[in-house]
Amino acid sequence: MSVFRIEHLSKSFGELTVLKDITTTIEKGEIISIIGPSGTGKSTLLRCLNLLEMPSGGRIFFNDLDLLARTTNITKIRQRIGMVFQSFNLYNHLSVLDNLTLGPVKLLRKSKAEAELKAMELLKLVGLAEKAASFPDELSGGQKQRVAIARCLAMEPEVILFDEPTSALDPTMTSEVLAVIRRLAKEGMTMVIVTHEMEIARNISTRVFYMDEGFIYEEGTPQQIFENPQREKTREFINRVRRYTYRITSKDYDLYAMNAEIEAFCEKHLLSRRICHNVLLLAEEVLGLQRDFSDITLSLAYSEKDDRLEFIFESAGEPANPLEEGEREDDLGIILIKSRCDSIQYKYENGKNILLCGVKG
Ligand code: ADP
Ligand code: MG
């Protein structure tokens, strides 16, 4: 029996049709990640699954129960479908423990003692037993999200829907939350996760939905979607998430912001500290050789297949290889650049000097 069976689901907001025709099934124990450009209806699909949004057409079955049937008690059903939001949605006036016991006491009619026992067990599971008496305001974002997950588990759901659970978090907090999600995956929890986190999509989920144009445009195993996407838009999206671009248009560009973004890109793709360090150094040295800052694009492209990071530096202007300018040949900067790459290629194309560097790991 499937956990969810979705048939020709559609959803419009007035004139705007967001979901055109979604048909799929989600089996017990599956971990589905939903990826795709923003605005393509990923959250809407998730919210339709527990009727936080009313579908405009089609049918949804939860354990063979027709969610849209008049006789279905949706409040009851919703208790079995957990939901975790980007913004945590904790009750700020309640302690962590009370956040976890409220639902079980009110809705599952558990005794306070029983609910507290279970809550402490769950707080241990997410590493926050120590914080039982704290209030949400006293916690970091990562801790809040782990409390939100524990609160969700306290209702003993059969499936958990996550809507970008880590997108409000910085990288260290993201990994705290990923560790908890990974643990739930190991325990066989059925999960549907809308995410920009490729770590989830690639390494935790069992199946990936790529959404575009109001449909599940392509679905497959993480390996199929990431290494061998079949359709054009999927391919474009996958290439895009693997690529980072920074534009510079004046000498006063924000070096710190650029470096922080490069580091975030490296983290996201689980690249080693060493590669990250080499890229930062490369960027600094290449920019150090530059005189004209009016039109520069700096990109990183990661190829998972070859586990290789390419650094691409483009600057508009007359042809001039920055690495071969007469007396600058033995410039310390040039030596440093060369020592951080295992390949360097220069070309001039469409009015742009382009350096392609394979970054050393
Ligand atoms: P995603 O999660 O993929 O970024 P959403 O499902 O949030 O996309 O939104 C898809 C589209 O539906 C967007 O254009 C958004 O503005 C619109 N939308 C979402 N919720 C509502 C709503 N309650 N009322 C009107 N439009 C909405
Ligand atoms: Mg969304």
Cβ proximity of 194 and 43 under 8 Å: yes
Residue 212 or 302, more confident: 212
Mutate to test the pocket of ligand 1, among 9, 16, 54, 196 (most ligand atoms within 8 A of CB): 16
Radius of gyration for the chain, computed over Cα atoms and rounded to the nearest angstrom: 24
- With cut-offs at 50, 70 and 90, classify the pLDDT of residue 302: confident
Question: pLDDT digit string (tens) for 255-284?
Answer: 999 999 999 888 877 788 999 999 999 999
Phi, psi of 7 (to 5 degrees): -125, 115
Question: How much is the average pLDDT of 181-209?
Answer: 93
Question: pLDDT digit string (tens) for 30-48?
Answer: 999 999 999 999 999 999 9
Phi, psi of 128 (to 5 degrees): -130, 25
**Atom 23 of ligand 1: nearest residue by CA position:** 13
What's the token pair of residue 335? 């030596």
Q: Using a cut of 0.95, tell me whether the model's pTM lies above it.
A: no
**Atom 18 of ligand 1: nearest residue by CA position:** 13
Phi, psi of 72 (to 5 degrees): -75, 130
Mutate to test the pocket of ligand 1, among 18, 54, 167, 209 (most ligand atoms within 8 A of CB): 18
Closest approach atom of ligand 1 to CA 53: 23
Ligand 1 touching residue 42 (CB < 6 A): yes
Cβ proximity of 261 and 242 under 8 Å: no
Q: Which of 42, 44, 41, 50 is nearest to 4 (CA)?
A: 50
Which stretches of 10-127 are DSSP H helices?
A: 42-49, 74-78, 96-106, 112-125
Question: pLDDT digit string (tens) for 306-328?
Answer: 678 999 999 999 998 888 765 55
pLDDT score, position 328: 59
- With cut-offs at 50, 70 and 90, classify the pLDDT of residue 241: confident
Question: pLDDT digit string (tens) for 98-147?
Answer: 999 999 999 999 999 999 999 999 999 999 999 999 999 999 999 999 99
What's the token pair of residue 214? 């109001």
